[in-house]
């Protein structure tokens, strides 16, 4: 048996533009997915997942039978989550050169599904790591991050960057630009997350930005502007200037909204955070619904978000400098 866990993340800057080769800065947060793997006598895969949203639900799913999972979130989300687990298991089998190995996999996560906090990357990283170790292979972190990226790339039909998987593997703040991935030193960032209880469709949102970019030069310019903003954000991060980071986050949200990936609830939460005195606020991840991230040392933003009708839940999540962790 082997258990590994890996963190979720927020984008300080650069989601969507990173898909087109611009740099991005995701940051790992103290919300984790924990995966326990036991090998089986046969070559089947059985996955049970619990608490995959903040409210929690349970799904018993056997990937090798026609059984339908019983869940209280949409079936598409569960199927997507199981696609990631299947892909991760294939990577572990390949790494250990044991193509027919069977597993019982248990996933527990406090990262809401599909909400911009890197739930799929955390599950994939932790699953590959635990399953490979259950077969006697401990992967170095570079290989783990690369294998996790291959899974996201396949499940998301080629529309994935290395940002989520590299960040979840390494922890802390990272810079990702195409295949160039680096860890960064960062001040402790006072993240507040607002969650609208929903989820965006990453594939559709990425396709929408691609279409806008090819139709309008100014949309392509907007993507490049996000890249310029990220470069400035990197300098600001190095200086540890939280006020200026917040200003750049506000700007980044505006550019993402111009690309059509915000939503009424995300905009409402961003404004609730700003009005409460947050240093800055933006959507995080693919958008369309899900989460915003704000910076605030005080409790004011969290409280204001909890009173905002658009927000189902808000919480503080500090930067997590640990990436993948091995429990046993």
Show which residues are catalytic. Answer: 164
- Categorise residue 241: left if φ over 0, alpha if ψ from -120 to 50, beta otherwise: beta
Q: Which is nearer to ligand MEV, 19 or 105 (CB)?
A: 19
Which of 2, 35, 80, 286 is in the footprint of ligand MEV by CB under 6 A?
286
Distance CA 174, CA 84 (A): 23
Question: Is 20 or 57 the residue whose CB approaches ligand MEV more closely?
Answer: 20
Q: How far apart are CA 256 and CA 261, in angstroms?
A: 6
Would you say 29 or 134 has its CB closer to ligand MEV? 29
Closest distance between ligand MEV and the C-beta of residue 205, in Å?
6
* Residue from 227, 285, 288, 323 binding ligand MEV (CB under 6 A): 285
Q: Which of 15, 22, 129, 296 binds ligand MEV (CB under 6 A)?
A: 15
Choice between 37 and 160, CB closer to ligand MEV:
160
Torsion of CA 82, 87, 92, 96, to 10 degrees: 140
Q: Please, which of residues 193-252 interact with ligand MEV by CB under 6 A?
A: 202, 206
Q: Which range of residues in 12-20, 36-44, 71-79, 93-101 is near ligand MEV by CB under 6 A?
A: 12-20
- Considering only 4, 12, 16, 233, the residue that binds ligand MEV (CB under 6 A) is 16
Q: Does 266 bind ligand MEV (CB under 6 A)?
A: no
Among the listed ranges 44-52, 159-167, 233-241, 244-252, the one in contact with ligand MEV (CB under 6 A) is 159-167
Sign of CA dihedral 257, 230, 7, 210: positive
Q: Which of left, alpha, beta for 116 (phi over 0: left; psi -120 to 50: alpha)?
A: left
| Cβ-based neighbours of 77, under 8 Å, separated by 6 or more | 113, 114, 199
Q: Which residues contact residue 221 at a Cβ distance below 8 angstroms, ignoring those fewer than 6 apart?
A: none
Q: Which residues of 59-86 are buried (b: 16+ CB within 10 A; e: fewer)?
A: bebeeeeeeebebebeeebbebbbbbbb
Residue 27 beta carbon to ligand MEV: minimum distance, rounded to whole angstroms: 13
Q: Kindly state whether residue 12 participates in binding ligand MEV, applying the rule CB under 6 A.
A: no
Number of chain residues interacting with ligand MEV (CB under 6 A) = 12
By CB under 6 A, name the one of 28, 33, 45, 163 that touches ligand MEV.
163
Least distance between ligand MEV and beta carbon 204 (Å): 11
Name the minimum Å distance from CB 34 to ligand MEV.
Answer: 20
**Closer to ligand MEV by Cβ: residue 44 or 210:** 210
Which single residue is written with the structure tokens 């400035």?
A: 232
Stretch that binds ligand MEV, among 78-86, 158-166, 229-237, 271-279 (CB under 6 A): 158-166
Pick the stretch among 55-63, 125-133, 160-168, 178-186 that binds ligand MEV (CB under 6 A).
160-168
**CB neighbourhood size of 316 (10 A):** 15
> Which parts of 47-106 interact with ligand MEV (CB under 6 A)?
none
Two structure tokens written together for 20: 């087109």
Q: Which residues bind ligand MEV (CB under 6 A)?
A: 15-16, 18-19, 160-161, 163-164, 202, 206, 285-286
């Amino acid at each position: 048996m082997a258990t590994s866990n890996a963190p979720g993340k927020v984008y300080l800057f650069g989601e969507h533009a990173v898909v087109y080769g611009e740099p991005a800065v995701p940051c790992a947060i103290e919300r984790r997915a924990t995966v326990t793997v036991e090998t089986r006598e046969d070559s089947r895969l059985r996955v049970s997942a619990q608490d995959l949203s903040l409210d929690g639900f349970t799904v018993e799913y056997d990937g090798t039978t026609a059984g339908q999972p019983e869940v209280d979130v949409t079936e598409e989300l569960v199927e997507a989550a199981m696609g990631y687990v299947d892909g991760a298991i294939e990577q572990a089998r390949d790494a250990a050169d044991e193509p027919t190995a069977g597993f019982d996999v248990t996933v527990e996560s406090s990262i809401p599904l599909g909400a911009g906090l890197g739930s799929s990357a955390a599950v994939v990283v932790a699953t590959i790591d635990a399953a490979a170790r259950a077969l006697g292979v401990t992967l170095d972190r570079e290989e783990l991050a690369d294998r996790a990226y291959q899974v996201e790339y396949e499940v998301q039909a080629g529309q994935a960057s290395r940002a989520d998987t590299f960040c979840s593997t390494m922890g802390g703040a990272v810079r990702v630009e195409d295949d160039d991935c680096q860890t960064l030193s960062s001040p402790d960032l006072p993240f507040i997350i607002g969650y609208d209880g929903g989820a965006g469709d990453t594939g559709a949102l990425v396709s929408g930005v691609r279409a806008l970019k090819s139709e309008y030069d100014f949309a392509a310019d907007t993507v490049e502007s996000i890249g310029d903003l990220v470069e400035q954000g990197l300098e600001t991060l190095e200086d540890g200037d939280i006020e200026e980071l917040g200003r750049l986050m506000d700007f980044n949200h505006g550019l993402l909204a111009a690309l059509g990936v915000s939503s009424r609830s995300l905009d409402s939460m961003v404004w609730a955070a700003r009005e409460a005195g947050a240093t800055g606020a933006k959507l995080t991840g693919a958008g369309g619904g899900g989460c915003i991230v704000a910076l605030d040392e005080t409790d004011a933003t969290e409280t204001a978000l909890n009173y905002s009708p658009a927000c189902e839940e808000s919480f503080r999540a500090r930067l997590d400098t640990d990436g993948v962790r091995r429990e046993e």
